[in-house]
Amino acid sequence: MSISKPSNTEQLKWWETAVIYQIYPRSFQDSNDDGIGDLPGITSRLEYIANLGVDAIWISPFFKSPQKDFGYDVSDYRDINPEYGTLDDFDRLLARTHELDMKLMLDIVPAHCSDQHAWFIESRQSRDNDKADWFHWVDPKPDGSPPTNWLSFFGGSAWTWEPFRQQYYLHNFLESQPNLNHANPDVQEAYRDVARFWFDRGVDGFRLDAVHTINADTAPYRNNEANREFKFGELPREQQPFFMQLHDSAQLNQPAIQSFSESFRSVADQYDDRYLMGELHGDDPIKASETFTSPGRLHATYNFNLLEWDGLDVDGIKKAITNAISAFNGTGRLSFAFSNHDVPRSATRMLAPLGLKEDQQQALQLLLLKLESCLIGSTCIYQGEELALQDVRDIPIELMQDPWGIEFAPTFLGRDTCRTPMAWRGKASNGDFSKANKTWLPVSEQHLSRAALDEAAKPDSIYNAFAAFLSWRKKQSALMHANSMTEITGGASQIVFDRISESQTLRCSFDFESLAATFEEV
């Protein structure tokens, strides 16, 4: 692995070294006691986040939506779903975020919208209306079957029949999430308008959801090739027919997607210091990341290498980091994460075979937080990671909310396990998340013993240890003023690398046996 010449301080943008705190708004803080988190609730807890020492917050979608996929099915990109608040509430949240010297990023969904969006409602009515070709409408095969073998991430065909048009429409996720046709320039202009709307309000950037699932190639649509290496195994990945196919051959990461990346970036470049981070995956994630971050496209990609559903051992973490930085050393074009709203919490799945006791699990979680915030590029911390929260595996099936989990329960529990509401005070009703009799997902009893404000008040908590580390991190030139690192070395239970700037070489050592991190100038 080559080491690029360290960047000068003035050349680095805020996002190249940022620690970004992800908020799942439905589960963060309820301000009006309806059992659902909202924007005023986030505003009320911003000091907790700022005191941790992060640089930015990223908020999962709160736009108008029927909530079939909890905000990732948008019916209006320029307004707030009433259960989350109003545009005035958002403006107050943004202003307070900036007062606390943090940036604010929104989670935009460009590949698909809700079937209740005005665009789709009009498009599905006929083949000759103004929005007729805003989505992927395709005639059936002569035998009436769908046009390709494409499958949905959530199970079943990626094509659904629409009797009004007597055609199939494409959806890579739920059938209520139709994929937009980004080969249509009017669709791309609509998204440029969305970007301008939020940038004009002062938003600092976007996390672009599942950009690899944008469909922009035009007909004829080709079948996916078979994944010859597929073997049935553990849930969720290896028991889904979806993964029996290679998707980059046709369905995903289509070359024409980059016209969207360039279009959206052209708007961001009209504003000062805005950031575009694309979530993507694929048969070859590194190749896809290089494509999406070519000049004039996205600033960085949200990297999946450390988000393996079943977790990773030390060797797996080494390989994941090595593969991720192989093409990006010397740049800030990667964003790392160990957890998010779509996978089990890192405190549950990472290095699970170690069989650690509770205090050791907290030490391991702190070690992982330090590790990812010492890598090149930015870091995304999911709410609750700073508390070493575990996944919640005892949600009754009748209380589950995630459509993916409901589809495959009880053998697969979906994503509710990492989305339960935050507990703020252990002795308060519902952990002080809400005074409602019933919250949208139950507050976990196991989280009450590690409630956020209680932990923030303890000098020896993981919250305060990580806050102290982030404060120290901001003073290290090798971590803040350059994005260069050496190859990973170390024994079977160690991860060791040097971070390098013009004025400092810092050896970062992470020992998964002693669960300690050390840093030495060399």
- Residue in 219, 222, 130, 139 with CA at minimum distance from that of residue 183: 219
Catalytic, 313? Answer no
Reply yes or no on whether 279 is catalytic: yes
Tokens 């004025």 sit at which residue?
503
Closest to 218 in 3D by CA, of 246, 247, 264, 185: 185
Owner of token pair 């989305």: 419
The one catalytic residue in 162, 279, 432, 455 is 279
List CB contacts of 291: < 8 A, sequence separation 6 or more.
253, 258, 297
Q: What phi and psi values does residue 10 have, to the nearest 5 degrees?
A: -70, -15
- 3-state secondary structure string across 78-117: EEECHHHCCHHHHHHHHHHHHHCCCEEEEEECCCECCCCC
Query: Is residue 441 within 8 Å of residue 421, measured between CB atoms?
Result: yes
Q: Which residues pair with 417 in a beta bridge?
A: none
* Annotated catalytic residue within 209, 372, 391, 416: 209
Per-residue b/e over 326-338, b at no fewer than 16 CB within 10 Å? eebbbbbbbbbbb
SS3 155: coil
Give residue 261's identity as a one-letter amino acid code: S
User: What does the alpha-carbon distance between residue 188 and residue 116 come to, in Å, rounded to a whole number?
Assistant: 19
Number of Cα atoms under 13 Å in the Cβ half of residue 2: 5
Catalytic residues, by residue number, are 209, 279
